[in-house]
């Protein structure tokens, strides 16, 4: 069996035995399933509120939800990918390299004619494939729940857009996998191996957007895009610096366009380029910085 096939197989088998990823996976799939029904409840209430407002003569504005696409029901999924799937990716990545160090199997593996970078690349491929499988299952769950919530199956074009959402999600999540793997290689203890990437995730998701747009952290949990930041002075400068680094916001903006959110503007190319940039930079960082520390002892 080649290094690639053996390592990929080992990654998928070992990940299935870990408890934390399983817990997070259950929460993730449950929330992906629930997201369509949450969207359905919100839409039903907004429509009823609007009809009541019209009946009481309080508004003459058009109904903001007149022509709503089934893709609307996938909007919450984007938030669960940023919150839960990103943590899942970090944990899968960190456990992947911590496992080798904890059991000292890395010494055994590297005593063979296996280049460390090739071994790490194979581990990343295994973890990436596992994540792809998880996202494929989540996409099917999402499609099925949207069909139940709306009473009809999404059209092939809409189905393709939902699949594209999960494809972009994979690009978004791989940097978090590599962050987990890299930290799992370099950390002194298993606890810091898990916690440091989680702190980095909290910075990327909650702190960088604040600097660029003054958006409050909790408002970032809402899939509805906020008003654009001021186009002058302080925020023009900070958003130019932090905007491309705000991976979560780039992902939200790109997927809003994929899901044809009527409130989103511009094109998806810019966001996709940023996500691809992070994807390749993260893979490169793992392959360059990882091999030299793989045999470090783990203290607790």
Partner 1 sequence: MAEVGVLCRKELKDLSRSRAIAMLLVFLSAVILLSVLVAAADYRVKLAEYTAYADALKAAGGSPTPPPNLFPLQMLRAGIEYLEIVGSLFAVILGYGLVAKEKGSNTLQLLFTRPLGRHAFAGGKILATVIVWLVVVAALFAVVALAVLLAGRAQLAGQDFLRLAIAAAHTWAYFIMWSLLALTLASLTRQPASGLVLALVLWLVIVLVIPQIGDTMDPDNQVPGGLFTSLQIDRTNEKALLTHFASYETGRDFVEQTSATKQYERAVFAYLGVKTQYNQVPLGAVWDATSHNSLWLLTTSVFTVAAAFLSTTRETLLRKLP
Which positions touch partner 1 (CB under 8 A)? 19-20, 23-24, 27, 31, 34, 38-39, 41-43, 45-46, 48-50, 52-53, 56, 58-59, 61, 64-65, 76, 79-80, 83-84, 87, 189-192, 194-195, 198-199, 202, 206-207, 210-211, 214, 216-218, 221-227, 230, 232-235, 263, 300
Nearer to partner 1 by Cβ, of 196 and 286: the residue is: 196
CB of 148 vs partner 1, minimal distance in Å: 18
Nearer to partner 1 by Cβ, of 112 and 299: the residue is: 299
| Residue 66 CB neighbours (<10 A) | 8
Nearer to partner 1 by Cβ, of 154 and 223: the residue is: 223
CB of 221 vs partner 1, minimal distance in Å: 4
Q: Quick one: DSSP state of residue 245? A: T
CB of 256 vs partner 1, minimal distance in Å: 11
Task: State how far the Cα of 269 lies from the Cα of 288, in Å rounded to an integer.
Answer: 28
DSSP tally for the chain: helices H, then strands E: 12, 0
Nearer to partner 1 by Cβ, of 102 and 118: the residue is: 102
Task: State how far the Cα of 49 lies from the Cα of 63, in Å rounded to an integer.
Answer: 10
CB 72 within 8 A of CB 43: yes
Give 38-47's long-range contacts (Cβ < 8 A, gap of 24+): 38/76, 39/72, 39/73, 39/74, 39/75, 39/76, 39/149, 40/73, 40/149, 40/150, 43/68, 43/72
Burial of 56 (0-12, 13-18, 19+ CB in 10 A): exposed
CB of 65 vs partner 1, minimal distance in Å: 7
CB of 299 vs partner 1, minimal distance in Å: 8
H or E element: which one contains 280?
helix 269-289
CB of 153 vs partner 1, minimal distance in Å: 24
Nearer to partner 1 by Cβ, of 56 and 113: the residue is: 56
Nearer to partner 1 by Cβ, of 1 and 218: the residue is: 218
Instruction: Give the phi and the psi of residue 51 in degrees, each rounded to 5.
Output: -60, -40
């Amino acid at each position: 069996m080649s290094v690639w096939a053996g390592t990929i197989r080992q990654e998928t088998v070992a990940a299935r035995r870990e408890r934390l990823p399983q817990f997070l996976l259950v929460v993730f799939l449950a929330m992906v399933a629930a997201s369509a029904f949450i969207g359905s409840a919100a839409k039903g209430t907004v429509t009823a509120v609007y009809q009541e407002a019209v009946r009481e003569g309080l508004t003459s504005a058009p109904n903001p939800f007149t022509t709503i696409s089934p893709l609307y029901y996938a909007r919450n999924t984007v938030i669960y990918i940023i919150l839960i799937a990103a943590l899942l990716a970090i944990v899968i990545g960190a456990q992947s390299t911590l496992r080798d160090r904890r059991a000292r199997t890395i010494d055994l593996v590297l005593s063979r004619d296996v280049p460390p970078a090739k071994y790490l690349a194979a581990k990343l491929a295994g973890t990436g494939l596992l994540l792809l499988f998880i996202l494929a299952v989540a996409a099917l769950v999402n499609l099925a729940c949207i069909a139940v919530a709306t009473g009809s199956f999404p059209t092939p074009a809409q189905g393709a857009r939902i699949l594209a959402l999960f494809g972009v999600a994979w690009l978004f999540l791989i940097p978090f996998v590599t962050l987990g793997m890299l930290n799992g290689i370099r950390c002194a203890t298993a606890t810091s191996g898990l916690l440091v990437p989680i702190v980095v995730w909290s910075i990327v998701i909650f702190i960088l957007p604040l600097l660029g747009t003054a958006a409050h952290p909790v408002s970032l949990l809402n899939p509805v895009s906020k008003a654009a930041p001021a186009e002058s002075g302080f925020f023009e400068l900070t958003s130019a610096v932090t905007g491309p680094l705000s991976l979560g916001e780039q992902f939200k903006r790109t997927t809003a366009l994929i899901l044809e959110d009527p409130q989103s503007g511009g094109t998806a190319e810019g966001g996709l380029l940023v996500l691809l940039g992070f994807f390749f930079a993260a893979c490169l960082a793992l392959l360059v910085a990882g091999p030299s520390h793989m045999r470090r002892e783990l203290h607790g």
